[in-house]
Structures are given as structure tokens and as C-alpha cells.
Amino acid sequence: MESSLEKKFIIDNNGAVLNIESTATFLGISTATVRNWVKSGFLRTIDANTKNFFQKQDIENVKLRIANGDLEKLSGRANKVNADKVFTPNEYIHDKVNLDALNCVVDFIKDNNIALLSAIFLVSLNLLKKEKILLEVDIHDIIEKNDLSIVNNEIGKEIKSWLSEIEAKNMKENFSYLLNCDIPKERDVLGFLYQSLLAEGEKSQSGSYYTPANIVDKIISEHVKKDSKVLDPCCGTGQFLLAFSDIIENPSNIYGIDSDDIAVKIARLNILIKFKDKDFIPNIVCKNTLSDIGNYDLFSSNNQNIKDFDVIATNPPWGAHFSSRDIERLKKIYPEIISLESFSYFLIKSLGLLRNGGTVSFILPESILNVKTHRDIRKIILKNFQVKKIVCLNRVFKNVFTSVYRLDIEKSENKDGNIQICKEDGEHYAKQSRWLNNRDFIFDIHANGVDTEIIDKIYRINHVTLENKADWALGIVTGNNKKFIVSEAKEGFEPIYKGKDVERFALKETPNYVQFIPEKFQQVALIEKYRAKEKLIYRFISKYLVFAYDNHQKLTLNSANIVIPQIPEYPMKVIAALLNSSLYQFVFQKKFSSIKVLRSHIEQMPLPLWDKKTFSEIVELVDGIIKGEDIFGKLDDYIMNKFELSQKEKNYIIKFNK
């Protein structure tokens, strides 16, 4: 909802203000990247109360500076939307020995600057010859647009349609190489070539990266039967559809949708070749699943069949870039999805197309599990469906650096069954009802049964949290560290600390100094936050909780953030002791498994309401550590004993933290 202040800005500025979606479109990046640039200080919102609105002039200046190379760091961190490089998706191929032959084809197409559709069309004809569906063809048949001798009527119609779109005048004699070169046997050769020839920026903008074959095969083997009715709602060139066809006997039970016209052409041809001895029209169409498809109107000839799917499996687009017009349509169709995330839209659409007892299996980024932005889709899933299985796949996409997970969801009346969680180190089970009670409905998959018992014991102790009981501040963003940060103390300069300078309980000496003139910096918190009488400073980018106690009003850069607890009669050093303890490292890793320490994480950590004597004893130990005494182990053991952990539980936590 827009606040009255936001509306005022929009009205008063008469178009001089851009919302976050328009800003993303203007810069050619995703809305998630816009938010990251705001957090990093590269973009400024109108003010703190209008966090999703930007002055158009400011955004125009940023774009100009990127184009001129003035913002080298920002340009380097920019979204891949603007990238024009291509890469070969080697993981897409079953047999790695076939890569050399296929890469030769890719190189020929690039070297001769052959139009994408034309190149794929010529290789398709080669493939049809190999399958003995096309009797004979040479490059002159294409140039002159002659009728081709194809023994399958439906394939003949597909090829004739393709040929009508080919620029025959651009065909050259040497392109005949593509009609006659060696094409190794792979499930989706055309898809591999298409993916290899697409610019990385195009893939990123559409959110499309094709899935390794072994992952697809595993999904199909677990869920698909020979009489299953199946759908891939963003089918691309048909990798999932072809995997379906390895088991399903009737091609009319296989459905696919994609908005990429060339990909759909390939998918239709792939499935026709797979069932070349059958007479059928593929149920694969070029449409926008999210906005053009209703539950009953996918294909005009058989509307009644477009529901009650047994299995819907896909690797949906992640973070796809939508136009402002698309966003407005999606908001109306799916008002419950406020994140504007493409994979969430595909999930909710697909779940609506399942029969009772049917299963959705999606390949998704790790953010689906625990990022606050995606609490909307997690809430829908947990309240209305049964999560059956989550599989950690690690990093499986070339040039994509996030970990990947497979999420299997069943349309079921039972919404509190066991969830099977599979990771490299084994598998365990979790109850869905526990996740429903998590803040932001987080899927805390890293806690097994033993872990959960320990965590539950910690949270059963009477406690408070820092939620609504603390002041928070980001470190300083100078805008140009080379300009403002020096490596030796000068008159008028003072130390400034980075995340790596933050250690347990104390800051280490830093080689960085700054002259604190806030108006010169790009982003500065309220000065009183830095100059608080006492505060905690913590590493922001970290797998672990690392908190230093500061009562000397030290400055920090934005890799070291600040929290100032405001809980009466609760010593700040006790909070530091808890957050630095081995026990709380264990809780943090099991609940969040994050490489960033977020405010929302810290706010969920329990602060036990122990007596004053206990507080005093902890403070005494912390003071000793700050003075340099080697007594952290003593403090650690004291805290675990206060939670009444057994020796077995303590050993389990100590082993985990090694």
C-alpha cells in the first residue's frame, strides 16, 4: 500500500518520481538488484519514509554514470541483464563425450553469424534426416523454399511453418554444414544449441536457465507413471517433456507452455520426433502461463482437459524481469503474491492446476526457504498444501552462484505430514506444523530431530527478544573508500572499523582511519547511534554470529552494523555473551543457515530472563575476555549449563561448531 506521503510525492512531482518497478526497467536490472543497490548505498530513495520511490533525475544520472564508466564498482555488480556473452551449458548433456561435436556446431554458427532461428532450423532438418523422417534436403531447397519430403504429416506442418519464417536470402552455400554435420544422440540436442547461443543477459532477464538432465530424470522417476497426465508450465525446449515421454505412453497426456516462440518450436518438434510413429498434435503452445492461461482454457479444442494434472514439474524462471504493465496485471491476478517473484507466480498457478493428490516438483533458489521477501508463497504453501520433499542440489547452474533446491508439494487434505529433507550428509524429517509457527514461515530445513529438540529446549526458557526492543544502524557508506579512508592516523582522523575488524567481544586494531564529516558521505546513520554510550557491533557478511562490545563510540563501515539493545536491566554484555556463544552459533546455523547476519535473525534469538546473580557472573566473565583472559570456554560452558543441556547435548553442539 502507498502511504499518503508516497502519494503526495507522486502527485507533486508529476512523473518526476519512479517506483521501484519503473526504476528497475529504466536501469535494465531486477527489482531485487534495485533493493540491493539501495542497501549498498549506490541508489538513494526519496527519503526514509518512501523506500520504494526514487527521483527520476537521480536514476537518470546513475544510468549515465554507469554508461560513462564512472561507477566501476556498481557496473561490476550490475545485474546480468545487460550481459551479451554466451556460455555453453555443459551440465545439460547426458554424455560429456558429445560436447566436442556439439561445440563445433555452436562455433560454426557463431563464426558465420547465422541468425538463431535459421541455425536451429537447419540443425533440425539434419536431425530429421538422422531419424529418417526427412528423406533428403540441401541448402538450395531452403533458399528456394521448396517442399520437403517428410514422412510424418504433423512434422511436415511444423517444418513448413518454420520455413515460412526463414530469411532465405540470408542463407549461404556453406551453411549446408549444419545440414550434414555429425549430430550426437542426446535427449535435447536442439535445446542445448539454443541455450548455448542465447546471450547470458537474455537468460537472466527471462529468468531461464535449463536444468541438468540427471535432476530432471530423478524427478520424473519418482513421480511419473505411464498413464500420468503431466504439465511443464514453462517448458522451454522441452527437457522435462522429453523426460516425461520416457515413461508416458500417450503423448496426448503431455502438456507444455512457454512464452519463447523458438523454444516452443523446438519443444513441439522434439516431442513429435519422440513419438514419430504416432499421429497426434502436441499439447505444447506459445503462451504466457501466468496471464494468458486460465484453469480451463489452455487449448480451444480440449478445454475440459486442462485441469487435474497428476504431476507438474519444471524449473521456473527466477527473478524474471516484468514490465510495468505485466506487474499491474499480475497484481490483479495474484494479489496474494506481494514479492513480485516469478517463481512464486508459477508455483501458485501450478498448484491450482493439480488434481487432489497431485504433485508439483519445482527447481528453486535457496531464497525460497528463508528470505523474508518470500514469506507470501511460503505461507500459502504451508496453509493449503503438504510439502513432501526438499532436496538440496547445491550449485548446479553454470554462472549462477546460488544454491538450488528441489521442492515437492502435494495437493492434499493432510497438511501436517512428515517432510523429507535430503542433503549430502543424509536425510531427516520435519513436521510442517513447526514451520507454520516459524517467523515469516521459514523452512528451517537444516535442523534435524536432535537439533529441533535442543532448539525447542532453548526457546522454552522464559525469554525476551530484541524485536521492538533495540535501535539499529548500518555502518557508514562513504561512496568512495579510496578517497575518504586512509591507512595511518592523521590529525582530525579517527579509526573506522570494517566487518573483518569485528571479533568476539572486542574490536581488533584497524589500519583504517577517517575524518568524520557526515555530509560528505553517501549514507550515514544518525550520529548518536555511532556515539552511543555502549553498543554492539556485528559482522554483516558472516556464516557466524560475531559481536563486539563497544563503549568508546567507534565508527564502522557498512560491513559492520550496530545494534543498541533497549531492555531495562538486561546487561548488554550478557547479550554479547549469548550471541557469541557456541550454543547460539548452533541455533543460528540450524534456523537460518545464512551467510548474512540479518536484523530479522538477531531479533529472533532468545534472551533468557535469568536472575541478577546469573547476569553478574556472565558480565564478569565477559569483562575478563575483553581484558584478554583465555576463558571463553568457561563462559561457553556456563551458558550451556544455564540452559540445562546434558553432556551429550553439549558434546553434540561442540562437535557441530568445530
Which CATH number does the domain housing residue 597 bear? 3.90.220.10
Sort strands 470-473 and 494-497 into parallel, antiparallel or unpaired. Answer: unpaired
How high is the pLDDT of residue 416?
A: 79
CA dihedral 216, 220, 226, 228 (to 10 degrees): -110
How high is the pLDDT of residue 49?
A: 58
pLDDT at 318 over 60: yes
DSSP 226: T
Residues 6+ apart with CB under 8 A from 263: 191, 194, 235, 236, 237
Q: Has residue 84 been placed in a domain?
A: no
Average pLDDT over residues 134-139: 90
When pLDDT is cut at 50, 70 and 90, the band that residue 210 belongs to is low
Q: Has residue 460 been placed in a domain?
A: no
Average pLDDT over residues 545-570: 96
> What confidence tens digit (pLDDT) does each residue in 55-87 have?
776 776 676 655 544 454 444 444 444 444 445
Distance (Å, whole) CA 135 – CA 125:
10
3-state secondary structure of 444: coil
Distance (Å, whole) CA 20 – CA 42:
14
Q: Has residue 91 been placed in a domain?
A: no
> What confidence tens digit (pLDDT) does each residue in 139-150 have?
998 988 888 899
The beta-strand segments (E) located in 238-378 are 254-258, 283-286, 309-314, 354-365
- The reply to whether 508 and 611 lie within a common domain is yes
Residues 6+ apart with CB under 8 A from 557: 475, 476, 477, 478, 481, 496, 497, 498, 499, 512
pLDDT at 48 over 80: no
643 close to 457: Cβ distance less than 8 angstroms: yes
Domain hosting residue 593, numbered range: 470-657
Average pLDDT over residues 613-626: 97
Average pLDDT over residues 645-654: 95
- Phi then psi for residue 582, to 5 deg, are -60, -35
Cell (9 digits) for 549: 562490545
- Average pLDDT in the chain: 86
CATH number at residue 20: 1.10.1660.10
- Phi then psi for residue 183, to 5 deg, are -115, 105
- The reply to whether 420 and 308 lie within a common domain is yes
Fill in the amino acid letter for 433. S
Distance (Å, whole) CA 346 – CA 114:
34
- From 152-166, 249-263, 292-306, 633-647, the region with the lowest mean pLDDT: 292-306
Q: Has residue 22 been placed in a domain?
A: yes
Distance (Å, whole) CA 243 – CA 473:
51
The beta-strand segments (E) located in 432-568 are 463-464, 470-473, 485-486, 494-497, 513-514, 535-539, 547-550, 555-556, 560-565
Distance (Å, whole) CA 244 – CA 69:
48
CA dihedral 81, 87, 92, 96 (to 10 degrees): -170
Fill in the amino acid letter for 137. V
Please state the separation of Cα 177 from the chain's center in Å. Answer: 40
How high is the pLDDT of residue 128?
A: 94
> What confidence tens digit (pLDDT) does each residue in 381-426 have?
999 999 999 999 887 665 555 789 999 999 998 877 889 999 887 8
- Phi then psi for residue 415, to 5 deg, are -115, 20
- The reply to whether 410 and 267 lie within a common domain is yes
CATH number at residue 231: 3.40.50.150
Total number of domains in the chain: 4
Average pLDDT over residues 607-636: 97
> What confidence tens digit (pLDDT) does each residue in 106-133 have?
889 988 999 999 999 999 999 999 999 9
Q: Which three-class secondary structure string do you get for 56-89?
A: HHHHHHHHHHHHCCCCHHHHHHCCHHHCCCCCCC
- Residue 102 host element (H or E): helix 99-111
DSSP 301: G
- The reply to whether 306 and 441 lie within a common domain is yes
Average pLDDT over residues 600-612: 95
Number of C-beta neighbours around residue 453 at 10 A: 11
- Which of 171 and 301 is assigned the larger pLDDT? 171
> What confidence tens digit (pLDDT) does each residue in 554-564 have?
999 999 999 99
- The reply to whether 411 and 295 lie within a common domain is yes
DSSP 596: B
3-state secondary structure of 231: strand
Distance (Å, whole) CA 510 – CA 493:
13
How high is the pLDDT of residue 61?
A: 66
Give the residue from 538, 549, 645 showing the smallest Cα distance to 588.
Answer: 538
Q: Which three-class secondary structure string do you get for 309-327?
A: EEEEEECCCCCCCCCHHHH
Kindly list the distances between the CA atom of residue 139 and the CA atoms of 107, 135, 179, in Å, as whole numbers in the listed order: 19, 14, 8
When pLDDT is cut at 50, 70 and 90, the band that residue 319 belongs to is confident
**Bridge partners, residue 536, by sequence:** 549, 563
- From 160-169, 275-284, 495-504, 607-616, the region with the lowest mean pLDDT: 160-169
- The reply to whether 396 and 493 lie within a common domain is no
- Phi then psi for residue 474, to 5 deg, are -85, 155
Cell (9 digits) for 187: 535427449
Residue 546, class by beta-carbon neighbours within 10 Å (0-12 exposed, 13-18 middle, 19+ buried)? Answer: buried
How high is the pLDDT of residue 187?
A: 83
Residues 6+ apart with CB under 8 A from 100: none
Distance (Å, whole) CA 125 – CA 423:
43
Q: Has residue 516 been placed in a domain?
A: yes
- The reply to whether 320 and 279 lie within a common domain is yes
Average pLDDT over residues 6-13: 38
How high is the pLDDT of residue 90?
A: 58
pTM, rounded to two decimals: 0.76
pLDDT at 275 over 50: yes
Give the residue from 219, 227, 221, 225 showing the smallest Cα distance to 250.
Answer: 227
Give the residue from 270, 128, 276 showing the smallest Cα distance to 188.
Answer: 270
- The reply to whether 413 and 278 lie within a common domain is yes
As a whole-number percent, the residues of the chain with pLDDT over 90 amount to 59
- The reply to whether 169 and 242 lie within a common domain is no
31 close to 21: Cβ distance less than 8 angstroms: yes
Q: Has residue 118 been placed in a domain?
A: yes
- The reply to whether 237 and 323 lie within a common domain is yes
When pLDDT is cut at 50, 70 and 90, the band that residue 533 belongs to is very high
3-state secondary structure of 432: helix
Residue at grid coordinates 533446491? 405
Cell (9 digits) for 209: 536457465
**Which of 445, 460, 479 delimits the end of a domain?**
445
- The reply to whether 325 and 437 lie within a common domain is yes
Tally: H helices and E strands in the chain? 30, 21
389 close to 198: Cβ distance less than 8 angstroms: no
- The reply to whether 476 and 579 lie within a common domain is yes
Q: Has residue 96 been placed in a domain?
A: no
- Which of 647 and 448 is assigned the larger pLDDT? 647
**Bridge partners, residue 505, by sequence:** 548
When pLDDT is cut at 50, 70 and 90, the band that residue 104 belongs to is confident
Q: Which three-class secondary structure string do you get for 618-641?
A: HHHHHHHHHCCCCCHHHHHHHHHH
Residue at grid coordinates 556515539? 531
Q: Has residue 459 been placed in a domain?
A: no
pLDDT at 644 over 90: yes
pLDDT at 101 over 60: yes
363 close to 406: Cβ distance less than 8 angstroms: yes
Give the residue from 317, 349, 315 showing the smallest Cα distance to 330.
Answer: 349
